[in-house]
Structure 1
Amino acid sequence: MKLEQTVTISPDVISQEVSGETVLLDLNSENYFGLDEIGTRIWQLIESSGRLQDIYETLLAEYDVEPDQLLEDMEQLLTDIEKAGLVSLQPDA
């Protein structure tokens, strides 16, 4: 993962926020995925911008987190949801 990338949500994924958490449904596999509060915030930022640099800077401003820890956590989440086919990463245009 590089901050110069953009995240795009698969058109086959629908999401619903429930009590501060988000449930994702992959229509292809019919698998559900759950995101906690922080994952939900990242998903919201993906929906609004998709630029990893913007997402990273927003989260740094909103949460009391070390920059390296945030990068590690973002990379773990994005790797997981990309492997599941929920998103794709591209070079920033």
Structure 2
Amino acid sequence: MDLNQVVTLSPDVISQEVSGETVLLDLNSEHYFGLDEVGTRIWQLIDSSGNLQEIYDTMLNEYEVEADQLLEDMAQLLGDIEKAGLVALKAAS
């Protein structure tokens, strides 16, 4: 994963936080997706910043996690939600 990328939320996705977790609805496919507490925090940071380096740095400060593990987990989550069309990744300008 390239931390010099920017991630943006799809305008066709609505989200609702429920008890610390987030439910996403893709209006195009009508599929629901669920995010746990950590995924919810990443979603919030995408919504507020979108800068992967800032998201990574924030998560590293907020959670007790090894840097390599965080990078791997973020890559997995972002890959999954990008494949589902919930977000788009692009090079930072």
TM range (shorter): over 0.9
User: Matches of residues 40-59 of structure 1 in structure 2 within 5 Å?
Assistant: 40-59=40-59
How many equivalent residue pairs?
A: 93
Normalised to the residue count of structure 2, the TM-score between the two structures is 0.99
Runs of 4+ aligned residues of structure 1 deviating over 4 Å after TM superposition are: none
Deviation at 1:74, TM superposition (A): 0.1
* Structure 2: distance between partners of 1:33 and 1:5: 23
* Structure 2: distance between partners of 1:10 and 1:44: 14
- Give the counterpart letter for 2:70 in structure 1: L
- What's the CA shift string for 1:19-53, capped at 9, x where partnerless? 00000000000000000000000000000000000
Deviation at 1:91, TM superposition (A): 0.3
Residue of structure 2 equivalent to 1:18: 18
Deviation at 1:66, TM superposition (A): 0.2
Which runs of no fewer than 5 residues in structure 1 stay unpaired?
none
* Structure 2: distance between partners of 1:75 and 1:46: 13
* Structure 1: distance between partners of 2:68 and 2:13: 29
The alignment yields a C-alpha RMSD, in angstroms, of 0.4
Which runs of no fewer than 5 residues in structure 2 stay unpaired?
none
Structure 2 SS opposite 1:65: coil
Residue of structure 2 equivalent to 1:5: 5
Normalised to the residue count of structure 1, the TM-score between the two structures is 0.99
